[in-house]
Structure 1
């Protein structure tokens, strides 16, 4: 059975980041190196660092030409940390979360001894286009969000596991982490309390997307069904999704394909036929599923499943848009 990959001895901070396919430069002024705990969970790496003061960063020389683009989730457990990327610098206190991209230079600098949690995973696993979230990187929400508290709990609970006897739970840990990161972006995109019109529009967007999630199994789910259910015009529904840089049909398709991808990677569903997985999520035609999956991820469902079964982590192509057709 596959276990969570944890280093037997306490790794150095450089080693933990290198194992996560994200080499860093580490500088420290403390005579004692920071205490590091690292857990590499398929495509998700979780790292906890206690100590300081120190700094770690990635510059143009550290970022290799073929480094996989990842998102770095920084959760501060104790102390205060500065995160800088581009023109944005955020001062992050205990209980707060900020996210940056590893493919662009950044620096993380604790102001004194601290305890921080770091999550690293491929950018392609978050199905939000850059046009909607690029301004959020390295930024801090005005107020603490529920997703920040839940991410801290998930970090701590998973890092405490010495062993996980099967890889099936690992799949769900990854899904939970990715869903919380997506929720954090969604919370940061919410309009302010004084924006009444924006708040109503945001609430309706949440309702329509929840409805889509609940009806993915229905192959007849389309924009007209969604508009009718929420008693709005089809035109207004399209305007709602356009306001966040998405299309309705594109979002339905991308969500279905992501559910299929998760099922294909889940060893608990290894005996389930690919056509049955597609049917679970509203794509009953295996030929159509294969074509859409290849267009979206750059490989067929069978290729993806075979790679995962052989312990290979496929490099999925990253889409910045979700086309309507």
Structure 2
């Protein structure tokens, strides 16, 4: 699984909990000043996922007033961009005398060199924070740190893709290998770069490599959501993203497999999971094949054997618990 550290305010004595939470935020974002109506018994949890140079931290916390002051900035500035996806509750965030209320599905953006203040009401807030070193994320030429977009939607477009990525990574860190962390961090940097470029409505402002990665990720996410459709072909993928088939193939020149091979492998991986699932043992193999976009059982068996060196039937037999016990 991904390298993960968990902090809970309940892990320290009652009187130390708010200070402990401020220390956690100070380590994962930047030093801050905090106060709360629940200071006598403050409740908060935080998971910190290590994605190479990028840190992602889902957190839930009670009513707070949090300040990043000029004095704290002068004392310590990690020089990071911060992006938060609000998933529950509301928060008011002030910067430069301007306050904005954030609701679930809103994205909040700031950087550690700019003073800000966050206030929440009595309902707990849940959010996913991202910390990206500024040196790794060049801004579009027409944007400065002071002109960062402060609120964006995560319900569609690049914001929606970023939110989907965050939800998938944070929902089950165990589905990834520790070595995946750096690669996921690179993808996250590209998505945030694409989000910034979208904010200034200038695709040209985004370097070609981050733009390619962001588009490739969008294509792959779309394909994963439509693996069951036998009509999912390179032509269909290109049409869904308003690009030519030739350009789609050029995107995948940087991947380990062609477009068709990538789709076939993802379908086979999904079929493997179903074949190994005890609750689906009575489901015919040809049904599983059709579920994952294979029109003919013979095509599925041929592709499966080529990929895994065994038949779907034998694979299912070996995956059964009694078969594994017999081998031991």
- Taking structure 1 as the reference length, the TM-score comes to 0.52
Q: Which residue of 1 aligns with 2:158?
A: 147
Q: Which residue of 2 aligns with 1:25?
A: 33
CA distance in 1, matches of 2:153, 2:171: 30
1:51-72 deviations in Å (ceiling 9; x for gaps): 3211222112222445221111
Structure 2 matches for 1:256-267, cutoff 5 A? none
> Could you tell which deviates more after superposition, 14-23 or 176-185?
14-23
In terms of fraction of residues, the more helix-rich structure is 2
CA distance in 2, matches of 1:89, 1:171: 35
CA distance in 2, matches of 1:117, 1:110: 16
CA distance in 1, matches of 2:47, 2:133: 20
1:195-227 deviations in Å (ceiling 9; x for gaps): xxxxxxx57x4899489959xxxxxxxxxxxxx
Q: Give the paired residue count.
A: 201
User: Which ranges of structure 1 fall in alignment gaps of 5 or more residues?
Assistant: 191-201, 215-258, 260-325
Is 1:160 the counterpart of 2:171? The answer is: yes
Change (3 A) 1:13 1:213: same
1:85-140 deviations in Å (ceiling 9; x for gaps): 22332211110112101112111222342211211121111122575143543622
The equivalent position to 1:85 in structure 2, one of 87, 95, 98, is 95
Indicate the SS of the match to 1:94.
Answer: coil
Indicate the SS of the match to 2:72.
Answer: coil
Is 1:52 the counterpart of 2:62? The answer is: yes
Structure 2 matches for 1:1-325, cutoff 5 A? 4-10=2-8, 12-20=20-28, 22-30=30-38, 31-113=41-123, 114-129=125-140, 131-137=142-148, 139-141=150-152, 144-163=155-174, 166-190=177-201, 202=202, 205=204, 209=208, 213=212
Change (3 A) 1:103 1:212: closer
Change (3 A) 1:54 1:97: same
CA root-mean-square deviation: 3.4
Q: Which residue of 1 aligns with 2:224?
A: none
Larger RCO of the pair (alpha carbons < 8 Å, separation 6+): 1
Superposition deviation, residue 159 in structure 1? 2.4
Asked if the contact 1:97–1:140 (Cα under 8 Å) also holds between the matched residues in 2, the reply is: yes
1:142-182 deviations in Å (ceiling 9; x for gaps): 89542222222222322234557754311221112111211
